[in-house]
């Protein structure tokens, strides 16, 4: 696990070398790439995430999908798991675990996870083989195997796309990585 810790530290170091303006510009490029990607335009039920301050800011995608009448889901930390809830606008968000804004909308039942068309997944690092390195708590490691039909898009800054992410046999690969 030392290899994963080293990679997380390396990525944190790389983030610190960029100004908030540079990170915002990179976020805009990633959002633009997702909008112009083929999967976004045909997706009706979309799992997104409310970004931490050091993650790619996908809030414009949340707003765009919501305003277009698509079903927008955001994760909520409940114990050791992520449950998915319906996003119903900014007023339906509350501060949750890890200081992440979380929706208080209706629960999206696990038996309907097969309806999710695309899932945008944050991470510390991704590689070309679809391997993902998270923050080490395993929340997405437990969620991704349940998203059997969703097209999984890893979302990161360019410096988070690396040659090789240490992976384990049980890891669910990402279908595509968008980093700009």
Domain ranges within the chain, ordered by starting residue: 2-178
pLDDT at res. 180: 85
CA pair distance 178, 128, nearest whole angstrom:
10
pLDDT digits (tens, 9 = 90+) for 37-82: 889 999 999 999 999 989 999 999 999 999 999 999 999 999 999 9
Residue 2 above 90 pLDDT?
A: no
Q: What is the pTM of this model?
A: 0.94
Residue 24 above 90 pLDDT?
A: yes
Checking phi first, is residue 79 left (phi over 0); if not, alpha (psi -120 to 50) or beta? left
What is the strand order of the sheet 118-122 is part of?
81-86, 71-78, 45-47, 118-122, 151-155, 176-178
Q: Which fold has domain 2-178?
A: Rossmann fold (3.40.50)
């Amino acid at each position: 696990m030392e290899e994963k810790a080293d990679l997380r530290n390396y990525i944190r170091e790389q983030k610190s070398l960029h100004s908030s303006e540079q990170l915002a510009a990179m976020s805009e490029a990633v959002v633009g790439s997702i909008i112009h990607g083929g999967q976004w335009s045909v997706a009706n039920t979309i799992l997104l995430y409310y970004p931490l301050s050091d993650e790619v800011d996908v809030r414009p995608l949340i707003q765009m999908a919501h305003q277009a009448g698509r079903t927008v889901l955001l994760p909520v930390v409940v114990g050791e798991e992520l449950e998915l809830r319906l996003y119903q606008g900014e007023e339906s968000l509350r501060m949750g675990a890890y200081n992440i804004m979380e929706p208080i909308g209706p629960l999206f039942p696990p038996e309907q996870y097969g309806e999710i068309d695309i899932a945008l997944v944050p991470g510390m690092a991704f590689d070309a083989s679809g391997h993902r390195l998270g923050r080490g708590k395993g929340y997405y490691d437990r969620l991704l195997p349940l998203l059997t039909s969703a097209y999984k898009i890893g979302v990161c800054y360019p410096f988070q796309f690396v040659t090789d992410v240490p992976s384990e046999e049980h890891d669910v690969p990402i279908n595509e990585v968008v980093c700009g």
